[in-house]
Amino acid sequence: MDESPQSFDRVLSSMCTPPHPVAREAAERFLATNPGDPASFPSVARLEERAVDTLGEVAGLDDPAGYVASGGTEANLQAVRIAREHGRNDANVVIPESAHFSFRKAADLLGVELRVAPTDADGRANLDAVAELVDADTAGVVAVAGTTEYGRVDPVPALADLAADAGALLHVDAAWGGFELPFTDHAWNFADAAVDTMTVDPHKLGRAAIPAGGLLAREESLLESLTVDTPYLESRTQVTLPGTRSGAGVASAAAVLDELWPDGYRDQRRRIRDTAGWLADELDRRGYDVVDPELSIVAFDVDTRVFEALRDEGWRVARTGDGELRIVCGPHVTRDVLGEFLDDLDRRAADVGTGHRANPGAGSR
């Protein structure tokens, strides 16, 4: 094998970050276990229960039902499946246009009609627009707590009320935001609103090894709507989408949640928040249009030639649908790294002649 894994040094637009050392160690130890067969692999099954309990604490839910999924995509798909089981035959699900593309896969696979509501100017779900799309066949409404592009948090309690009035379930997608939001004033979780299901991914800001997503449900009966019989296993039923699953992902999630919840994640939130605020200020001083970072994602307008030049220099950066360069300030994105990035940005902007100020003032780092 002549490839080695690339370093995270210049990865600035990923929702993922290197796993925490305890997550890495647990992933290696439990590599050869399968939580999909708990009768044969009971220890990793116990770790999964622990992980779900702690994810419940993260999301403000006592006695949570749920499991460690392969990622946010599977968790969102399963949530749509739960909503469909709960609804009528011609079920539709209403999502804000800021929702992750995984809901399109879910709707496609499950034969559910997806209704997409425009967001407001700030990128949050627009209540009137959602209300207009909800009808008697609506089985689920989705709220995003930490959108993938801008880190926006939808008005979860109001969307929950809307869903309840329509007899639909409310799903919150906190795949990325779930480990930052507990330390903010946002109303986003099971304790804040009548939330039915939630996605919260340990393999993003939770610092578990991939694959470790999280699906939570307010009560066991919601999860049970996913049950299928499993004739060849000692355990008689299964709610997960995959059969064989990664014990590495499950064990790493359990280990890192034990290690970091809540104090370690609180410190992490403080650090990434400070970094995002600092970066937004630095860009603002240079004259860039910066989208105000609500959580730790900073998006700013950038000339396409500058963007391409930065990619050519090895910066792993990506753009939003509207073309802004988007920096996800995960724990590995330090001020030192961003200082180097800003130097390159200044140089490339000067080459192209975008008219942005370079290196303004002293003590920027």
Q: Is the CB of residue 194 less than 8 Å from the CB of residue 161?
A: yes
Complete DSSP assignment for 75-136: HHHHHHHHHHHHS-TT-EEEEETTS-THHHHHHHHHTPEEEEEPB-TTSSBPHHHHHHH--T
Give the shortest CB-144-to-ligand PLP separation in angstroms: 6
Give the shortest CB-197-to-ligand PLP separation in angstroms: 13
Stretch that binds ligand PLP, among 39-47, 71-79, 178-186, 320-328 (CB under 6 A): 71-79
Structure-block tokens of residue 37: 């067969």
Stretch that binds ligand PLP, among 69-77, 160-168, 329-337, 338-346 (CB under 6 A): 69-77
Give the shortest CB-201-to-ligand PLP separation in angstroms: 5
DSSP 68: E
DSSP 182: G
Give the shortest CB-52-to-ligand PLP separation in angstroms: 17
Cβ burial, residue 144 (10 Å; 0-12/13-18/19+)? buried
Out of 36, 140, 182, 213, name the contact with ligand PLP by CB under 6 A. 213
Q: Is 348 in the site for ligand PLP (CB under 6 A)?
A: no
Stretch that binds ligand PLP, among 172-180, 181-189, 255-263, 306-314 (CB under 6 A): 172-180
Q: Is 140 in the site for ligand PLP (CB under 6 A)?
A: no
* Angle of helix 263-285 versus helix 247-260 axis, rounded to 10: 90
d(CA 204, CA 326): 16
Q: Is 102 in the site for ligand PLP (CB under 6 A)?
A: yes
Per rule CB under 6 A, count of chain residues that contact ligand PLP: 14
DSSP 153: B
Give the shortest CB-242-to-ligand PLP separation in angstroms: 13
Stretch that binds ligand PLP, among 3-11, 72-80, 84-92, 108-116 (CB under 6 A): 72-80
Give the shortest CB-15-to-ligand PLP separation in angstroms: 5
Q: Is 294 in the site for ligand PLP (CB under 6 A)?
A: no
Out of 48, 154, 173, 180, name the contact with ligand PLP by CB under 6 A. 173
Out of 175, 198, 253, 298, name the contact with ligand PLP by CB under 6 A. 175
Give the shortest CB-39-to-ligand PLP separation in angstroms: 28
Peptide bond into 202 cis (omega under 30): no
Q: Is the CB of residue 60 less than 8 Å from the CB of residue 189?
A: yes
Q: Is the CB of residue 153 less than 8 Å from the CB of residue 182?
A: no
Structure-block tokens of residue 126: 């627009």
d(CA 150, CA 12): 14
Q: Is 72 in the site for ligand PLP (CB under 6 A)?
A: yes
d(CA 107, CA 91): 10
Stretch that binds ligand PLP, among 125-133, 168-176, 257-265, 286-294 (CB under 6 A): 168-176
Give the shortest CB-354-to-ligand PLP separation in angstroms: 30
Q: Is 17 in the site for ligand PLP (CB under 6 A)?
A: no
d(CA 249, CA 260): 16
Out of 37, 154, 201, 324, name the contact with ligand PLP by CB under 6 A. 201
State the Rg of the chain over Cα. Answer: 21
Within 10 A of 39 (CB to CB), how many other CB atoms are there? 10
Give the shortest CB-200-to-ligand PLP separation in angstroms: 10
d(CA 286, CA 301): 12
Q: Is 178 in the site for ligand PLP (CB under 6 A)?
A: no
Residue 100 or 186 with smaller CB distance to ligand PLP: 100
Q: Torsions phi, psi of 298, nearest 5? A: -115, 120
Q: Is 15 in the site for ligand PLP (CB under 6 A)?
A: yes
Residue 173 or 294 with smaller CB distance to ligand PLP: 173
d(CA 210, CA 84): 28
Residues that bind ligand PLP (CB under 6 A): 15, 71-73, 76, 100, 102, 144, 148, 173, 175-176, 201, 213
